[in-house]
Amino acid sequence: MNSIEQILHSMDMQYHEKRANMARLAEDSLAPLKISEETKSYLDKKILCDMNEGARPYRPRYVLPDYVKFIKQGSEYLDIQPPKDLYEAVNAMLILYKYVPSITGYPVYVGQIDDVLEPFMDTVSEKEAYNLIKMLLINIDRTLPDAFVHMNIGPKDSKVGRLVIQIERELRKAIPNVTLKCSEETPDDLIKYGIESALENIKPYFVNHKLMTNDLGEDYGVVSCYNSLRIGGGAHTLTRLNLKALAEESKDYEDFMNVQLPKAVKSLSELTNARIKYLVEDVKFFESSFLAKEELIDLNKFKSMLSIYGTFECVEIFTGKQMGHDERANEVAEEICKRFAELVRNEDALYCGGTKGKHGVHAQGGLESDTDTTPAIRIKYGCEPDIFDHINLSGKLHKYFDTGCSDIYLFDETAKNNIDGMLRVVKGALENGIRVLSINSDSSEFIRITGYLVKKTDINKFNEGKNLREDSVVLGALSMKNGIEERKVRTV
């Protein structure tokens, strides 16, 4: 009751924030789901983590509606007819966004926006198209104030895609996150246009379209931080394993690989399946959601996400060396990633048709509460090797994580004067096997935390005690203590 009173009387939260926190309290007032004592022990020791998703999941963590299908068929539930021009298409999208659930309360996916809107570009003038897409992006920033909201463009060139990059560069806002899918059909000048933008505002991400389609097929989306899921599907839940903590519980490397890791993955699968079963069978989300009834989402396209973090520290414990700086450490890192992926795929997953009845494998980007534990399979901030050694190592590791993995490279100001050199870096990284790549310059007012963006000025405002519209600024400000500003600055 004290927590309820604190929320009700808080001067630091707006109405929608109070409502969301009250809902979380109500959910967590229920008894936890039934799991084995061994799995409970792993949770208590913080070897396993449920990502604070709540005691009783009543909506999937991530939902990716088929927005192209929505535009073609309209929606009976929302009383929307198929749009006839760009005005109606933008209006329809803005309406649907308000009805798309996720763990954050906001949609984590606002569409492969070029596929959605490009067919309507010839229904208006160039000026009108610019104004409408600008209105769309401003509306998303103001009404969906969460940096995990994610928009995709590419790999084909399009007027819509170029306008998104142009306008986002002009607006200089953290929301939405933007991804540019890159393949052989993506023209170099479009990638260079994206690079110029990214060196200012960290948008867009650059995505290895070939690797993604090999894992997921053509209809995939990159959402939230950098998670890769099927359009029309999503992820029921995300759970994670702290490799550092598990290593500290192990006798030696052999015990870790052959005894402790298999046991921990089995418990991680149990935890995940318990949450999925409750969502699908008890809450019956897919039987009640209009998104499912109108076939904008399909249970058979959903999956789960089993993830790791603390790989850097885990490797250091067993080798005494750092990833990126020692060949044996690099070999151990790959052995661990490969073993984790194999163990995950040996476990049966409930209602995970999106990955053919198996769990998805993920490298999780970390939480603001993580201290002395490096996100995902990344190298600890400030310990990064030469960029080409870094790319080579990451290329070996990213292939194991079909539901998401990314790298973040920070460049000095001179990179803006060498866009051709940056193009070689970006294309070389993707060709080398990096799944998702983020670049930025050290002079940018934006910071990529783990996969989402915040502005330095907003972090300063939060630290001064000011109330901000964007929920994710709080997470970003709290995460800064984990050494993010120590990222190595590269030159080209």
Q: Are residues 420 and 343 in the same domain?
A: no
Q: 362-384: b or e for each residue (b if 16 or more CB lie within 10 Å)?
A: bbbbbbbebeebbbbbbbbbebb
3-class SS of residue 312: helix
Q: Are residues 148 and 261 in the same domain?
A: no
Enclosing H/E stretch for 324 = none
State pLDDT tens for residues 220-255. 999 999 999 999 999 999 999 999 999 999 999 999
- Specify the higher pLDDT residue, 369 or 396: 396
State pLDDT tens for residues 20-43. 899 989 988 999 999 999 999 999
Q: Are residues 18 and 48 in the same domain?
A: no
pLDDT of residue 194: 98
**Do 151 and 144 touch, CB atoms closer than 8 A?**
no
Q: Are residues 315 and 356 in the same domain?
A: yes
On whether residue 392 sits in a domain, the answer given is no
Dist. CA 207–CA 191, nearest whole Å: 11
On whether residue 363 sits in a domain, the answer given is yes
Q: Are residues 25 and 100 in the same domain?
A: no
On whether residue 358 sits in a domain, the answer given is yes
Q: Are residues 321 and 451 in the same domain?
A: no
On whether residue 337 sits in a domain, the answer given is yes
Q: Are residues 99 and 166 in the same domain?
A: yes
Stretch 332-356: mean pLDDT, rounded?
A: 97
- Evaluate if residue 467 carries a pLDDT over 80: no
Structural domain ending residue among the three candidates 355, 376, 397: 376
- Evaluate if residue 16 carries a pLDDT over 90: no
- Evaluate if residue 85 carries a pLDDT over 90: yes
pLDDT of residue 17: 86
Considering the chain, what percentage of its residues have pLDDT values greater than 90?
87
Q: Are residues 188 and 328 in the same domain?
A: no
Q: Are residues 318 and 355 in the same domain?
A: yes
Stretch 5-31: mean pLDDT, rounded?
A: 90
| 223 beta partners | 227
On whether residue 24 sits in a domain, the answer given is yes
- Evaluate if residue 1 carries a pLDDT over 70: no
Q: pLDDT grade, residue 469 (50/70/90)?
A: confident
pTM: 0.95
Q: Are residues 214 and 65 in the same domain?
A: yes
Phi, psi (5° rounding) for residue 429? -65, -45
Q: Are residues 315 and 460 in the same domain?
A: no
What's the domain count of the chain?
Answer: 3
On whether residue 474 sits in a domain, the answer given is yes
Domain housing 22? 1-30
Dist. CA 309–CA 413, nearest whole Å: 31
State pLDDT tens for residues 358-393. 999 999 998 888 889 999 999 999 999 999 999 999
Q: Are residues 197 and 240 in the same domain?
A: no
On whether residue 386 sits in a domain, the answer given is no
3-class SS of residue 39: helix
